[in-house]
Structure 1
Amino acid sequence: MDQIWLRIWKLQITERLKMFLWKLCRDIIPFGNRLQRIFGNSTRCVICGEAEDSALHLFFKCPLAKAVWFASRWAIRSDTLNFGAPRDMVVWLLSPEFLQGADAEVLGEFLRFGVCLFDALWTAHNRAFHDQISPTWRGVLAKVTSAAAYLHSAWESPTNAGGLQHNPAAIYTGNSVLLVDAAFKDLRAAAGIVVAISEDNLSEAMAVCYEANQPLEAELVVLVNAVKWCTMRGWNRMVIASDCQLLVHGLHARRAPDWRLAGAFWQLVEMLDALPDVKIEWTPRAGVLAAHKLAKWAFSNSVSGLFSAEDLVPLVAM
């Protein structure tokens, strides 16, 4: 157990998640019989009611867990996995046999996804028990994707982060910048795309409403629309700034961050290859705040269209 704890302690995740994994290893997270002794409730799974409540069931066998694992980029059939004890689940996350020989980046991506999924499922379990809120697999997947991307961005070293700008002002190098962001909820999305000459000088913008299945798809569609706008307007030298680090990193590595988005991802790569002086860079949320506010406004009002600098003033001031 000490060696496992040492590995957990060294993980680039939050202290809360480290403690969660430690408790799982020690099998002291309250499932089934423990909950019954405290609250007098049934020992059946509070999400599906199909089996005894346990770590194995919640994290791998419950229909909710199975759907999210299979929807992940690894398309894992979690119902085929079996573990002797909760500790073995953590060992599997740390050293997945099916990724044997993979590089550290791939292993890290899988670990972040798995840890965030465990955490999201436990949260869904508790909300179902205490608040009678029924989770959906799409909702859980969206939370996991977002949480894993946050962990990645929080520990990404500037020296290893090609195409990543931690200072929002650093994206302004003489060329115009397209600030992009997406708003997403309940399979609906809106893109905010703002042309910026400098941090305080916005010249025009575009908003587009569309359907999307997950936040990452919404962010991908924003970039596709931004590059199409560059092509239509003849903007051959442009920086496109996004706060979606997972997607920007995937574009620089030329590796789709989610297999379900591979078609649109490679379409975007081909579009960018045709515009070699159009660069995609990551910047913190503060760097794309104008696009973020425009996307939220367009989403709330179901508005698509073009906006002048004057039109933008009241929208980005909100």
Structure 2
Amino acid sequence: MKKIHRALLSVVAAASLALTACSTAEEGDQGSNKGASESALQIEDNNGTHELDQPFERIAVTDNRAFEILADWDLNIVAAPLGIVPDTLSDKINEDTIEANLGMHREPDLEALVAAEPDIVINGQRFTQHQADIEALMEDTPVLDFSPRDDKDMAEELVRQTEALGKVFDHEDEAKKLVDDFNKALDRAKDAYDPEKTVMAVNTTGGDINYIAPGKGRFFGPFFDLLGMKPSLEVENSSDDHEGDDISVEAIADSNPDYVLIMDRDGAVAKDEAGYTPGKKLVEDSAALKNVSAVKDGNIIAAPQDTYTNENIITFTETLNAMADAFEKN
């Protein structure tokens, strides 16, 4: 009987230990799952709210305003449309550094995107039109678009995009530095600008000088609102096309701006082609513009050469500082 009693006690003790172990394991699993859920990042982009499991090791990026930021953070970019990546980033994003070249936004190679197996896609700007197709192909892979929205304040949108990228890729300190630099440059240009001075923005392409309407377009148009600048000329029914409006150089000259802002489109996409002339030189050498105040006084401000394909917060910051330099000297 004693032997039976001892055996029974042993069985009960073993069962008790097993139940305790199972209970502890379950609690541990629940705690682990709870921790994973709590650590998941919830973030809102242009298309809604997403819950993300970080970190991301394989990144596809199609948004021109994100290329430089992500490259500067030394992230592993596995797929990108090299046809629209700025030449200034060719040392960081090229055929040797990525696994899939997505081509151009007009006819993108989305099969290559799938084959690259990214764990996140940063979409936007020229590729916004392909958002639905990319989402359908990538299935459970998050496809995020933080590119500035047309109906919003450009400064706020650039900050929103930069801060969001910082959160997604755990580079919030670096994102904060970019935002701080931008805000300082914006304040500096605002403080230096004389509201009595008039400003003209132009786009140069194919040897032509085209008018950029205040408040319209992707780059210089919004600067008028950001800085409260006084346009030297306003044209009815002006477009927000990236090539600007084709009005006569004489009309630009007659408006006699104190400052001319230049976005050299060809400088970003055709600088190696025969016959290319930098936008600033086109304006400076124009016979029709030789008596314009901005030309005579040397108040011609050209955005960075790669601006047309690199319109991110860094480019805006560089341009604002260049404008502040010009405003401060007068």
Decide which structure has greater helix share.
Answer: 1
Question: Whose Rg is larger?
Answer: 2
TM-score, normalisation: structure 2: 0.29
TM-score, normalisation: structure 1: 0.30
